[in-house]
Structure 1
Amino acid sequence: MAPGSVGKVAIALMALSCVIFVAQAAVIPVGDAGWTFGVEDDWARGKQPFAVGDVLVFQYAAGAHNVVQVDQNGFSGCKAGAGAQVHSSGNDRITLNRRGKFFFICSFPGHCSDGMRIAVTVN
């Protein structure tokens, strides 16, 4: 090797060993049996912590349910606000794009109050 090459190789190897690995986003199916009644009961607790970039997948029979992202008041009161985006494909993928709390409900009458709602915290 040419003089100085060993030093350059050593520096390159040290730089490679210091590379920070970025965690890949997780794809997380919502509910053990899909997006359905009772999913609120303890589902998210076993999945914490969520990270920015994680994708929640809501699977359900299209036409039987939907998914609406709401604020905390909408979550507590089971009401979607005016202009809320309604997902209704039956295979909805929602990316958690920031830190903080996210709230989701099914806005079909009675579904949210029967446990079709979740709250997740992104760290």
Structure 2
Amino acid sequence: MGFVERSVVFLMVMMVAIKVSNAAVHKVGDSSGWTIIGSIDYKKWAATKNFQIGDTIVFEYNSQFHNVMRVTHAMYKSCNGSSPLTTFSTGKDSIKITNYGHHFFLCGIPGHCQAGQKVDINVLNVSASAAPTKSPSALASPVPVASTQAPSPNNASPLIVAKGAFGIIGLAMTVLVFSIST
């Protein structure tokens, strides 16, 4: 395999690794896990997380005393586990988030959901949840424009900085092209 082919394969692997590295793993209840012992507030726990598509939610619990049921919103509100969408019972269940919106889970053991063993994992669509821009208030005072001169232009080429995965890939491609041409 030639240098160019190896370089292209390397860049593709790097792109996949960068994409995968953005996913997070969230253990429900953190160190306490999925339980009714200790009065864990799963609503408060979920509110401190930023769930995204690709993340994995992990439920760790004693499978002799608990389970995990994925349910509808109505079932979640009423703690009704009679016909769940899915039931997990391994004691270490990993669920990958694949879509936006609310994902409702509860423990189906009688009394556990009522004791607070339920969680709403809300995955926000960042572009859809962006707040609309506010129009300026009639009471807002205008900001005066500074009276400074613009810097004089020079013949230097501009420095363009790219951040994140695209910056890394762009830098790698620049080095690759430079190394091929020399």
User: For this structure pair, what is the TM-score category when the shorter chain's length is used for normalisation?
Assistant: 0.7 to 0.9
Task: Pick the structure with more strand per residue.
Answer: 1
Match of 1:27 in 2: 25
Whose radius of gyration is greater, 1 or 2? Answer: 2
Equivalent residues of 2:69, 2:88 under 8 A apart: yes
- Say if 1:70 and 1:81, in contact at 8 Å, map to a contact too: no
* Structure 1: gaps spanning 5 or more residues: 1-18
Equivalent in the alignment of 1:51: 52
Please list every run of 5 or more consecutive structure 2 residues that lacks an aligned counterpart in the other structure: 1-14, 125-182
- CA change 1:41–1:99 in 2 (3 A) is closer
Contact 2:102-2:121 within 8 A present in 1 as well: yes
Alpha-carbon separation, structure 2, partners of 1:90 and 1:39? 20
Whole-angstrom CA distance in 2 between matches of 1:87 and 1:121 = 19
Provide the aligned C-alpha RMSD in A: 1.7
CA contact under 8 A between 2:104 and 2:119: conserved in structure 1? yes
Equivalent residue for 2:78?
A: 77
- 1:109–1:84 distance in 2 versus 1, CA, 3 Å: same
Aligned AA for 2:78? G
2:168 alignment counterpart:
none
8 Å Cα contact 2:43-2:120 kept in structure 1: no
- Please name the residue that 2:42 is paired with: 40
- Cα distance, 1:39 vs structure 2: 3.9
Q: Hey, what's the Cα distance between the residues in 1 that align with 2:42 and 2:114?
A: 10
Aligned to 2:123: 122
* Residue type at the aligned position of 1:51: Q
SS at match of 1:113: coil
Matches of 2:106 and 2:54, distance apart in 1: 20
Aligned residues: 103
- The letter of the residue matching 1:80 is G
Deviations 1:90-119 (A, max 9, x none): 000011110011100001000001010000
Residues 50-91 of structure 1: CA deviation (Å, up to 9, x unaligned): 100110000001121000011110110111253532100000
Amino acid at match of 1:35: W
Relative CO higher for 1 or 2, CA cutoff 8 Å, sep ≥ 6?
Answer: 1
| Alignment partners' CA distance in 1, 2:84 and 2:26 | 26
1:98 aligns to what? 99
Distance in 1 (CA, whole Å) between partners of 2:100 and 2:86 is: 20
